[in-house]
């Protein structure tokens, strides 16, 4: 069997147990230059098992997998792709089936590979302005005539009252920025913006003066995963034929310690008049997202989606196997559930009510950005969502908050290689295309 070079290895999927001897009844059955994934017709959690099998196959040092045979449908091929792809092998899969299916899966894999690679980059490579530039370039290249951008950076953020991004990023030598990208395929400058996407783009999170531990800081290059996911979602929707106007906002900063860094006890006054006392400089994601949500609300878009690697509480609640979903609008939450089911991505709705806005009280301001106890205290993910809800219009109608608990894995598992996963891209792409 070819395992040490780039010659594709044939991978088939079968419900028939053809192996003899020690391989009999095993999920992976190897014969010459072919690997068969054997799953009985009635196998429970079939797609999960295919993803796990793909992870095992990748660990055999196979460089390129070629899926073959009639048993592969779209969902099973995508499950294999998620399990097999990893750092340096993000696109090393050949799909099978009708040409349209192969093209659809290849386009999807290319977008996920771009988003995952972006998230995996080092903090030295990927600083705030570079993140904005790479996202702009990638999406512009898909539709040069229909994409325009505006970038607000450094002191201009303060001048234009984008105070969350400005304060979080002012301690770094690398300037913070707010990217606004407008995809407008209609040709009409006055066309309605049908949806806005807002992404947390913290390219490195030291925790600021509420400094993280070494272990807690090690993977914080991934803290711009929300920006990578929403940019990837727009790119995927465009590849799939999106014909409506959508705006993308990336809130980009480094959260660093210096003589200029924001401090505990500081009070930020936002553009909408909300005042916020800093109780934890490591609760910075919600501070930058607030600016993006206000900018998105100004468009009057009926749907606003934000995505962020926001809270450890969401990881604790979901085990990292689900994206945590928050909404005050049950109808739009139901649409998110429908899109997640259609795309095979796992999401779980956690509690959010208007009174969650009051869960981080301050004597000196309208709210604090967290509480001064570990992890922000009980219900930390819901409390963070409650904070964000202060910055969307119309009582949260049409707004969805994705806390990306499964966006990045510091170590490999039975399902995933180490690094970014891209989870959330397909769900959000489906939402902005079909809402």
Half-sphere exposure of 84 (CA within 13 A, CB side): 26
Of all residues in the chain, the percent with pLDDT exceeding 70 is 98
Q: What is the dihedral of CA 93, 98, 99, 104, to 10 degrees?
A: -60
Separation between Cα atoms, residue 233 and residue 339, nearest integer Å = 13
Whether residue 2 has pLDDT greater than 70 = no
Whether residue 144 has pLDDT greater than 50 = yes
Instruction: Give the residue among 72, 125, 127, 64 at the shortest CA–CA distance from 90.
Output: 64
Half-sphere exposure of 202 (CA within 13 A, CB side): 33
Catalytic-labelled residue, pool 116, 286, 335, 359: 286
Give the residue ranges of DSSP H helices in 85-127: 99-120
The three-class DSSP label of residue 410 is coil
Residue 19 CA from chain centroid, whole number: 40
pLDDT for res 55: 97
Instruction: Give the residue among 356, 296, 286 at the shortest CA–CA distance from 327.
Output: 356
Strands 323-326 and 399-403: antiparallel
Residue range 345-369, pLDDT digits in tens = 999 999 999 999 999 999 999 999 9
Fold of 122-434: Aminopeptidase (3.40.630)
Whether residue 4 has pLDDT greater than 70 = no
Q: Measure the CA angle with vertex 74, ends 114 and 349; round to 5°.
A: 70
Q: What is the mean pLDDT of residues 320-327?
A: 96
Q: pTM of the entire structure?
A: 0.96
Residue range 202-212, pLDDT digits in tens = 999 999 999 99
Residue 382 CA from chain centroid, whole number: 18
Q: Could you tell me the residue ranges of all domains in the chain?
A: 9-97, 122-434
286 is catalytic: yes
Instruction: Give the residue among 85, 86, 88, 120 at the shortest CA–CA distance from 105.
Output: 85
Residue 374 CA from chain centroid, whole number: 25
Sign of torsion, CA 255 261 267 270? Answer: negative
Whether residue 119 has pLDDT greater than 60 = yes
The three-class DSSP label of residue 196 is strand
Residue range 374-397, pLDDT digits in tens = 878 899 999 999 999 999 999 999
Please report the beta strands in 289-412, taking only residues with DSSP state E, as ranges in sequence order. 304-308, 323-326, 347-349, 367-368, 399-403, 408-409
Paired strand residues for 248? 181, 197
212 is catalytic: yes
Instruction: Give the residue among 281, 280, 308 at the shortest CA–CA distance from 293.
Output: 308
Give the chain's mean pLDDT: 95
Residue range 173-220, pLDDT digits in tens = 999 999 999 999 999 999 999 999 999 999 999 999 999 999 999 999
Residue 248 host element (H or E): strand 246-255
Q: Measure the CA angle with vertex 73, ends 67 and 75; round to 5°.
A: 100
Separation between Cα atoms, residue 391 and residue 109, nearest integer Å = 34
- Contact call for residues 288 and 295 (beta carbons, < 8 A): no
Residue range 242-292, pLDDT digits in tens = 999 999 999 999 999 999 999 999 999 999 999 999 999 999 999 999 999
pLDDT for res 423: 98
The three-class DSSP label of residue 92 is coil
- Contact call for residues 247 and 150 (beta carbons, < 8 A): no
| Residue 5: pLDDT band with limits 50, 70, 90 | low
Separation between Cα atoms, residue 138 and residue 50, nearest integer Å = 31
Residue 363: phi and psi, rounded to 5, are: -75, -30
Whether residue 426 has pLDDT greater than 90 = yes
pLDDT for res 150: 98
Helix axes of 425-434 and 330-343: crossing angle, nearest 10 degrees = 120
């Amino acid at each position: 069997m070819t395992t040490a070079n780039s010659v594709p290895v044939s991978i088939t999927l079968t419900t028939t147990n053809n192996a003899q001897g020690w391989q009999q009844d095993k999920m992976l059955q190897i014969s010459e230059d072919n690997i068969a994934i054997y799953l009985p017709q009635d196998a429970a959690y079939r797609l999960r098992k295919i993803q796990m099998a793909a992870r095992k196959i990748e660990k055999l040092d196979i460089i390129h997998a070629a899926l073959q045979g009639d048993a592969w449908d779209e969902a099973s091929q995508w499950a294999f792709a998620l399990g097999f792809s990893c750092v340096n092998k993000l696109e090393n899969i050949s799909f099978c089936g009708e040409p349209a299916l192969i093209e659809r899966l290849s386009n999807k894999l290319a977008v996920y590979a771009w988003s995952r690679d972006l998230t995996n980059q080092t903090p030295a490579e990927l600083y705030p302005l570079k993140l904005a530039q790479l996202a702009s370039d990638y999406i512009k290249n898909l539709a040069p005539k229909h994409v325009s951008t505006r970038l607000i950076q450094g002191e201009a953020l303060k001048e234009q009252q984008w105070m969350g991004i400005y304060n979080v990023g002012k301690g770094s030598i690398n300037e913070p920025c707010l990217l606004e990208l407008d995809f407008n395929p209609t040709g009409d400058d006055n066309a309605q913006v049908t949806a806005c996407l807002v992404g947390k783009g913290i390219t490195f999170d030291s925790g600021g003066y509420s400094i993280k531990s070494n272990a807690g800081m090690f993977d914080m290059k991934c803290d711009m995963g929300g920006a990578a996911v929403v940019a990837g979602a727009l790119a995927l929707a465009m590849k799939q034929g999106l014909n409506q106007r959508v705006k993308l906002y990336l809130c980009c900063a480094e959260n660093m310690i210096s003589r200029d860094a924001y401090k505990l006890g500081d009070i930020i006054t936002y553009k909408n008049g909300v005042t916020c006392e800093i109780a934890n400089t490591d609760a910075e994601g919600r501070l930058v997202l607030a600016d993006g949500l206000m900018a998105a609300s100004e468009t009057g878009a009926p749907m606003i989606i934000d995505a962020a690697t926001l809270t450890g509480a969401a990881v604790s609640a979901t085990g990292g196997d689900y994206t945590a979903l928050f909404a005050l609008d049950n109808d739009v939450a139901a649409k998110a559930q429908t899109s997640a089911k259609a795309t095979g991505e796992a999401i779980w709705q956690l509690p959010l009510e208007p009174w969650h806005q009051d869960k981080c009280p301050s004597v000196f301001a309208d709210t604090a950005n967290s509480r001064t106890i570990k992890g922000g205290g009980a219900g930390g993910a819901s409390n963070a969502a409650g904070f964000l809800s202060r910055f969307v219009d119309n009582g949260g109608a049409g707004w969805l908050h994705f806390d990306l608990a499964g966006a990045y894995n510091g170590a490999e598992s039975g399902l995933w290689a180490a690094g970014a996963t891209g989870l959330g891209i397909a769900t959000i792409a489906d939402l902005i295309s079909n809402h």
